[in-house]
Amino acid sequence: MRLFAKLMLAVALLLAGLAPAAAQKRIALTFDDVPRGRGAFLTPDERTVKLIAGLRRAGVPQAAFFVNPANLGNPDGKGGEERILAYVAAGHVIANHSWSHPHLSETSAADFLANIDRADAWLRPRDGFRPWFRFPFLDEGMADKAKRDAVRAGLKARGLHNGYVTADGADWFLEQLTIDAAKAGKPIDMAALRDLYVETHVGAAEFFDGLMVKAIGRSPIHVMLMHETDLAALFLPDLVAALRAKGWEIVTADAAFADPVNQLFPDTPSANGTLTEAVAWEKNLPAPRWYERNSTKLLGALFAARVLHEGE
């Protein structure tokens, strides 16, 4: 009878719409430093075409591109505005990553907010704009809490929300290693590079999800930090397939930033890194609070051994 009563209660809750949701792993994809210059293999125009096609082929409903408008003035920035518009036309959204990508820890709060305002003036009138701001280098002032709080207050006054990150696979570093290898004329094992790129991101999603569950008792809708790189353009469908194989659902950036985790503003000894790390630190969870492949030393060694086959 007790089992029957439990079953009847579960049915009643389900019919009432009150049944707890099944455990889900959900993640949105976001890309920083847009528009970037030429990478190891592709022109900026080629990269944008491939990235849009890859997102479409992988069935990614919406990604977010965090823009540094100052990049439009770089030699490789020619056509950058058209590429940004192409992302929006494909159904994706754009947000603020500052005008020129400064470190908050190396900039006054007033100058930093002015840099944000300059980017906002360029971004806000455009289609696809979202009022999200992502700190360059994920640097929210490091140990300077007064500066951190001044900028947090400034963002709130401007109606901007923190475009936080919950999962980071250090793809910027893999991209730079690849660029350096290509410039040096080193042979690059593309299949091995793809596998390293994919498994590193999937590993990041899994690690940070486990850490967040420990910290807040649930799996939030995660936000993956990526960059507008050749590697993303070449390997995104492989990455999405691998995430789905691990049980991840790819959702919109809009859905991710609507998650209640958006309301967390951790108070930690140093504000620099993922929201997941900061929350875990605030909750006094023991290290490690960041993914092992966020170590450039470790990731660099893996790249040298597996992609360049050095030391064989």
- The CATH number given to whatever domain includes residue 133 is 3.20.20.370
Query: Is 134 domain-assigned?
Result: yes
User: DSSP string covering 72-103, please?
Assistant: GGSGGGTTHHHHHHHHHHTT-EEEE--SS---
* Nearest Cα to Cα of residue 129 among 166, 100, 159: 159
Q: Report if residue 14 sits inside a domain.
A: no
What is the count of structural domains for the chain?
1
**Ranked by mean pLDDT, which of 17-31, 63-77, 165-179 comes out on top?**
165-179
Query: What is the share, in percent, of the chain residues with pLDDT greater than 90?
Result: 89
User: Is a pLDDT exceeding 70 seen at residue 92?
Assistant: yes
Please indicate, yes or no, if residue 107 is contained in any of the structural domains: yes
In this structure, the strands spanning 129-133 and 93-96 are parallel
Distance CA 75, CA 38 (A): 10
Q: Is the pLDDT of residue 5 over 80?
A: no
Q: What is the DSSP letter of 272?
A: E
- Tell me the average pLDDT of the chain: 92
pLDDT of residue 312: 76
Q: For the chain, what percent of residues have pLDDT higher than 70?
A: 93
Residue 8 lies in a domain: no
Write out pLDDT tens, residues 113-169. Answer: 999 999 999 999 999 999 999 999 999 999 999 999 999 999 999 999 999 999 999
In a domain, 5, yes or no: no
Q: Is residue 16 part of a domain?
A: no
Query: For residue 61, what are its two tokens?
Result: 């409903």
| Rounded mean pLDDT, 34-55 | 96
pLDDT digits (tens, 9 = 90+) for 262-277: 999 999 999 999 999 9
Residue 14 pLDDT > 50: no
The reported pLDDT for the residue numbered 73 is 86
HSE-CB at 232 with a 13 A cutoff on CA atoms is: 28
Give the tokens for residue 102.
Answer: 């400064």
Q: What is the predicted pLDDT for the residue at 23?
A: 56
Alpha carbon distance 177, 57 (integer Å): 27
Q: How confident is the model at residue 11 (pLDDT cuts 50, 70, 90)?
A: very low
Separation CA 270–CA 289 (nearest Å)? 13
Compute the average pLDDT of residues 166-187.
98
Residue 125 lies in a domain: yes
Q: Say whether pTM exceeds 0.85.
A: yes
Q: Cβ-count burial of 61 within 10 angstroms (0-12 exposed, 13-18 middle, 19+ buried)?
A: middle
Residue 95 structural domain = 22-307
On whether residue 312 sits in a domain, the answer given is: no
